[in-house]
Amino acid sequence: MSVSSAILNGRPVERQDMITGRRMAAVDENAAALGVPRKQLMESSGNAVAHTVRDVADPGSSVAIVAGRGNNGGDAFVAARFLEEYDVTTLLLGRAETIGTEIASENWDTLERADYDVREVRDSSQFGLPDADVVVDAMLGTGISGDLREPVATAAEAINAADTTVVAVDVPTGFDADGGDHAENRVEADRVVTFHDTKPGLEDLAAEVTVADIGIPAAAERFVGPGDISLARPDDREGRPYVIGGGPYTGAPALAAQAALRAGAELSFVAAPGTVAGEIQGYAADLVVQPYEEDVLTPERADDLLETAQEYDNPVVLGPGLGTADETLEAARQFLEGYDGRVVVDADALAVVPEVETDATLVCTPNRAELARMGGPDADDLRAVADEIESFAADLGHVVLAKGPDDVITDGERTRISRSGTLGMKVGGTGDTLAGIVATLLADTDPLEAAAAAAHVNGLAGERLADDEGHGFLASELLGEIPAVLWGESDV
């Protein structure tokens, strides 16, 4: 995957030169949170479309815009305003009152008020494609779901049958921007104007593709924001994380397991030595604590827990409070060697990761000292060594969520920075709540996306508790703030 580089505060920041539709929606939301509202992006998108129309047809040419009821259509309503020297007709496939977004609706209203030639196609039998030198396909973009429904299907067929130049907005209607299967009867375009970055599969089309910058700051991709939380937010109570922890310490597994519930898990299990199981259960009746007879995790016990983990195939949290007894580290190594599911590795178990061969998908959550001990860079400001952490993660072959004032989350290819959090996050236990949140989000989200969102949620939960200087709260108090951060109204 080729990468381009933006310059972000003087440092080249690698940007993937490819972005999926779902990731684009997250980046949009992040851009809005950075102060670039969607309507402004739509204005830039529409202007970019007009540029390409000018490229393919001389002034005075006739242009037929065929628009859907989402923001893809909205882009084209904007484009109409940038094509004054063309003979533009705008067809909306549906009634104006069914336009699905405010910004598209506002742009439609502007065309009506400004007396542009606009027509509503109230049913597909009414649809007739005007003779035009250029057709702008603005029916569906990244918001498509399933095969083309009427009246879009009829319109797509008419556009493909017409002898005209077709300019597609963002992606040709019916194209799946998430790299999935395209609709059979999708629009065949001559030109595609896609926004911000190219989409997977556009390079295989016969069309000439223009990637238009629409003013989205590189920070909207680089820094974790509300869009990343939207991507990872559990839809309902799902996942049953399995915490393997406890031994010398009991608070850590209890915090991790509670955080997993607060992040939306249906149940949260803790496998712990019998000597401390009662104490862990004492922290919260909500936990399903499963005691085992040894008083630390041993290799024999690890085999037993491995079977349970494989049977239920839920995200595992390995590490909180395990301690560093040789047999415990051997047990952690053995568990990872045998497991092929998803594991958040934290605290004392991190030490074994660099030398272990595993088919498991790991999210490692080292703090600064643990990262250095694992062989990663040793630096106060992790963000300044983000590239080195990225290479370390690439060598390690797993996701690394390096915790610091700014967290660095990377899978060796994609790297995100989470700037959320406050001074107070240094209090003991915030790493345990983080591990629990990662585990729940990991249940059905891309590991990097789950880790990035979890880091952000944990930090924002702390911000909600901190006093003006950022101090003075307990990790256990973070638990109560997690749901509001994950499901609360993001203010963009």
Ligand X SMILES: NC(=O)C1=CN([C@@H]2O[C@H](COP(=O)(O)OP(=O)(O)OC[C@H]3O[C@@H](n4cnc5c(N)ncnc54)[C@H](O)[C@@H]3O)[C@@H](O)[C@H]2O)[C@H](O)CC1
Contact 410, 400 (CB under 8 A): yes
Q: Is 60 annotated for ligand binding?
A: no
Q: List the interface residues with ligand X, window 241-270 (CB under 6 A).
A: none
Contact 206, 223 (CB under 8 A): no
Contact 73, 136 (CB under 8 A): no
Q: Of the two residues 33 and 148, which places its CB atom closer to ligand X in the complex? A: 148
Taking CB under 6 A as the rule, does residue 196 contact ligand X? yes
Distance of closest approach, residue 382 Cβ to ligand X, in angstroms: 29
176 binds, among ligand X, K ion, none (CB under 5 to 8 A by kind): none
Which residue from 71, 173, 358, 365 is in contact with K ion, where contact means CB under 5 A?
173
Q: Of the two residues 192 and 385, which places its CB atom closer to ligand X in the complex? A: 192
Amino acid at the residue 198? T
> Which strand (E) or helix (H) includes residue 336?
helix 326-338
Backbone φ and ψ of 171, nearest 5° = -145, 155
Taking CB under 6 A as the rule, does residue 167 contact ligand X? no
Q: List the interface residues with K ion, window 152-171 (CB under 5 A).
A: 168-169
173 binds, among K ion, ligand X, none (CB under 5 to 8 A by kind): K ion
How many Å apart are CA 28 and CA 141, to the nearest integer?
14
Q: Of the two residues 50 and 402, which places its CB atom closer to ligand X in the complex? A: 50
Q: List the interface residues with K ion, window 72-111 (CB under 5 A).
A: 72
148 binds, among ligand X, K ion, none (CB under 5 to 8 A by kind): ligand X
**Terminal Cα distance for the chain, rounded:** 31
Please give the structure tokens belonging to residue 38. 């969607």
485 binds, among ligand X, K ion, none (CB under 5 to 8 A by kind): none
* # of chain residues touching K ion (CB under 5 A): 6
Q: Of the two residues 191 and 342, which places its CB atom closer to K ion in the complex? A: 191
Contact 205, 191 (CB under 8 A): no
Q: Of the two residues 69 and 383, which places its CB atom closer to ligand X in the complex? A: 69
Backbone φ and ψ of 421, nearest 5° = 115, 175
How many Å apart are CA 100 and CA 356, to the nearest integer?
51
Contact 449, 411 (CB under 8 A): no
Taking CB under 5 A as the rule, does residue 137 contact K ion? yes
Q: Of the two residues 149 and 237, which places its CB atom closer to ligand X in the complex? A: 149
Residue showing tokens 């820094």? 223
Contact 333, 351 (CB under 8 A): no
Point out which residues bind ligand X (CB under 6 A). 24, 28, 38, 41-42, 45, 68-75, 100-101, 140-149, 152, 169-170, 195-196
- Binding residues, by number, are 71-75, 137, 141-147, 170, 173, 252, 321, 431-432
